[in-house]
Structure 1
Amino acid sequence: MSQRSFVFTPMALRSLELDEDMLQRYKYKKQLTVHHLNSYMLRKEVRDRELLRSSAVRPAAICHDVVVQNALYTGDLEAMQRLFPRGSTASLIIEPQGGDMRWVATGEGLWSLTYEQELTTPLHITASRGFADCLRLLLQRGADVDLAPGGTTALHESCESCQPECTKLLLVHGANANAVSEDGVMPLHVCTSPESFECAKYLLQYGAAINGRSIEEEDTPLHVAAKNGLPDHTELYLRYGAAVDKKNYEGLTPLNAACSQRQEAEELQRYFKVCQILTGAGADIHITDQDRHSPLHMACKNANPDVVDLLLANGACVNDMDYGGEAPMHNILKVVCFKIPHQPERIVRALLNHGSIRVWPGALPVVLKHCSESPRTIEVLLNAYSHLKVTDTWVESVPPELLKEHKAFFESVFSLALTPRSLQHLARCKVRDFLKERVHKVVPKLQLPTFIRNYLLLEYRGFIH
């Protein structure tokens, strides 16, 4: 090696990679911002020319009339027909009072505590509340369909509030399906609930960019659907040509994004269906984020057993390490006590049957302490060892209330301090050691009685022997 050269440490290399990645992201965001600015200026120029050509078009006026506001917020069509007769302007800007209070400078060094005012328009109010007839009247009166005094268009509001009829009305009257809000999102990015599916369909029918990115997070609509566990949206976007492996600012693909989301027990199936659709569409299960977390790492951390099974069936690597040196097994064991309704024992069992590394025996008392609310998890884990050195520390690791609740199970564990493991268990360990990571493939193919097959695959029995 030359005296003028030196070896980069892994940390230095990682730092250089991150710097290069951040530079590339900065360049992309700059290009995207310039693109949106140019598009905005072009649209503004066209609108300004139209305003000069037509004297009938009037600029938006500020409206403080409480009667008008009451009619809009209640969806009173008869009142609106009187308030907005033919020939009147419907392009109004409304300053509703209320919300949070903030300090505002009044001049001469004085400040006043006033209510924060969020600018809106009649279109925003009616579209977000689903008042389709009122919205139609305003559009017929020439309301500016893309007016966004508060930073979002009426189309954003209708999609976020899941109002498909209003969404379609706005699009029919020329609303920009790719309008970017001041937060850098397009209407497709605010379709975040199952009820917004029809809105998403209309947006795509009227030219919404299927791979359009949000400014800050660089999410595509497919990322949004995956993050929110929306299988119908996911299928729809893929039919329209969504890029299945595009990365966002954090280096997450849609599959990574779905696996990384915190999931309640009642949401597990929704996220599983999303992952199933994405893998069926060819999503790469080996792509990792900036910290080398794979989808399997994330699925274990959020304890979704069906997703873990899906990823393992598609060839996910059980022993890949992230930058912190942790494998998927570490991730699930750290969250067992918080994820009891998610059946964490299923994940531990699946990982072991696919050849996962085991816990260092000296650390088993710590695992016992943190996982004692899930005896099945402990049972599966301990049955992966041919010999165990049970000490008083094991007994002290289990909280008294859980020791009492699961008395029979923990007594069978602690009895191993005086009794060796059974011959049957030792035979199981020998077979599993021979097969290693092939256990899940070979055992089901053997013509074995159901009891023996399940026993080899670490089925739960409620005690240790």
Structure 2
Amino acid sequence: MAAVLTELGCWSHSWGRGIHVHQQRIYNPLMDGLWSDWTPLHEAALQGRLLLLRRLLSQGFSVCVSTVNGVTPLHEACAGGHFSCAKTLLEYGADANAVTIDGATPLLNACCSGSPALVNLILKQNSAHHPAHSLASPIHEAAKRGHVACVELLLAHGVDADLELDTGTPLYSACEAQRTDCVHTLLLLGADVNRGRGLDTPLHAAARVGGVREVSLLLQHGADGNCRNSEGKRAVELTQQHSPERLLLQATGPCSLSQLSRLCIRRSLGQHRLSKTHTLYLPHTLHNYLLYR
């Protein structure tokens, strides 16, 4: 008992600091209201303190304890990118599908932290792929942060590459954030090159932020430079005068017949059948061309 009191005694200093940061928001866990039910288990998970986490669980702290806005210790372990803490919590029965009032799941937090091992761990628990909130989803968070491996894992587990939220599709988010590698990965794995945010396409987003590499990739994958957004503007009209992306868009002509054929076949196959292109029995060279290899 004395050992437990000694171990828990460290919390008096930590809690005394009062101010913490959670998902880019400042809060005080001792304040009345949303964070008044913050527990040592939450803190241990967020800080990655595995030994203390195990001791707290062995002493009877509930693995499913949550704040009034639904934040569980598993949420915090995932937000901190702490694989061992998350694994331990799951072994004790933590809910991998727990959702906060903001729509955040452990999977979403794992994607924010950018840990492929952690994302894979949560996915193995049959975690819900789709968001409970219209402003965020795991694949959007991974895409806009440049976490390529996390994007690949999500798509391999059947997540929709073209899931469109109020903020657009994952490809649109990656273009806005100029995450070139994620843009490339999404396109290779079957994301719709012209689907963005309403009438605003990924090409509009890339042109607006000056993403010349993203513009180049989108054009290579068949982006339509003549699409007009809700303001009636084409992507080229959103670029700066004499900018590389404007010159690139102005120089782009019609697609070649081979490119049109590739785009047509890829669209017909769709995201979830691109991995089965070997069943087409194409010559090796054509198969590689179809997959942009």
Provide the alpha-carbon RMSD of the alignment. 2.8
Residue number in structure 1 paired with 2:23:
none
Q: Partners of 1:321 and 1:438 in 2: how far apart? A: 19
Alignment of 1:161-180 (within 5 A): 161-180=80-99
Shift of 1:193: 4.1
* Candidates 239, 257, 272, aligned match of 2:180: 272
Please, which of 208, 229, 245 is the counterpart of residue 347 of structure 1? 245
Is 1:282 the counterpart of 2:190 in the alignment? yes
Note closer, same or farther for the CA distance 1:353–1:310 as it changes in structure 2 (3 Å cut).
same
1:72 CA displacement: 3.9
Alpha-carbon spacing, 1:241–1:191, altered in 2? closer, same or farther (3 Å): same
Q: 1:143 to 1:347 in 2, by over 3 A?
A: same
Contact 1:97/1:116 (8 A) holds in 2:
no
Is the Cα contact below 8 Å between 1:155 and 1:170 reproduced in 2?
yes
Q: Where do residues 185-224 of structure 1 align in structure 2 (5 Å cutoff)?
A: 185-193=104-112, 195-209=114-128, 211-217=129-135, 219-224=136-141
Cα pair distance change 1:313/1:206, threshold 3 Å: same
Cα distance in 2 between the residues matched to 1:138 and 1:147: 12
Q: Aligned runs of 1:14-413 on 2, under 5 Å?
A: 70-72=9-11, 98-99=18-19, 116-117=31-32, 118=35, 119-151=37-69, 152-193=71-112, 195-209=114-128, 211-217=129-135, 219-250=136-167, 252-261=168-177, 268=178, 271-290=179-198, 292-333=199-240, 345-355=243-253
SS in 2 for 1:134: helix
Please say if residues 111 and 138 of structure 2, whose CA atoms lie closer than 8 Å, have aligned partners that are also in contact. no
For 1:185, give the aligned amino acid: A
The 1:220–1:276 alpha-carbon spacing in structure 2 relative to 1, beyond 3 Å, is same
Please state whether the residue corresponding to 2:243 is helix, strand or coil: helix
Q: Offset of 1:249 from its aligned partner?
A: 3.1
Tell me the amino acid that sits aligned with residue 311 of structure 1: L
Distance 1:73 1:134, change over 3 A: farther
Preserved CA contact (<8 Å) 2:142 2:148:
yes
**Whole-angstrom CA distance in 2 between matches of 1:311 and 1:73:** 54
1:383 maps to none
* Distance across 1 between alignment mates of 2:132 and 2:208: 27
Contact 1:296/1:308, CA 8 A, preserved across alignment: yes
Deviation sequence 1:370-421 (CA, Å, 0-9, x none): xxxxxxxxxxxxxxxxxxxxxxxxxxxxxxxxxxxxxxxxxxxxxxxxxxxx
Cα displacement (A) at 1:96: 6.0
Aligned with 1:191: secondary structure? helix
Distance in 1, Cα, partners of 2:73 & 2:12: 14
Q: Is the 8 A contact 2:46 2:73 kept in 1?
A: yes
Give the superposition deviation at 1:226: 1.4
Unaligned runs of 5+ in 2: 21-29, 259-293
1:121-149 per-residue CA deviation (whole Å, 9 max, x = no partner) reads 12111111111011111222232101013
**Residue in 2 aligned with 1:360?**
none
Q: Which has the larger radius of gyration?
A: 1
CA distance 1:141–1:253, change in 2 (3 Å): same
In the alignment, the residues of structure 1 paired with residue 16 and residue 64 of structure 2 have an alpha-carbon distance, to the nearest angstrom, of: 20
Give the match's secondary structure for 1:316. Answer: coil
Q: How many residues align?
A: 240
Amino acid in structure 2 at the alignment position of 1:352: Q
Tell me, yes or no, if the aligned pair for 1:160 and 1:196 is still in contact at 8 Å.
Answer: no
Partner in structure 2 of residue 421 of structure 1: none
Aligned-pair identity (%): 29
- The TM-score with structure 2 as length reference comes to 0.73
CA 1:280–1:168: 2 relative to 1, 3 Å? same
Closer, same or farther in 2 for the Cα pair 1:175/1:96, shift >3 Å? farther
Contact 2:204 2:235 in 1 (8 A): yes
1:98 counterpart letter in structure 2: G
Report the secondary structure of 2:230's partner residue: coil
Find the aligned partners of 2:99 and 2:12 in 1 and give their Cα distance: 25
Report the secondary structure of 1:180's partner residue: coil
The amino acid of 1:116's aligned partner reads M
Q: How far apart in 2 are the matches of 1:322 and 1:73?
A: 55
**Which residue identity does 1:286 align to in structure 2?**
N
Are 2:111 and 2:119, in contact at CA under 8 Å, matched by a contact in 1? Answer: no
Q: 8 Å contact 1:120–1:150 — kept in the other structure? A: no
Q: Highest relative contact order (Cα 8 Å, sep 6+), 1 or 2?
A: 2
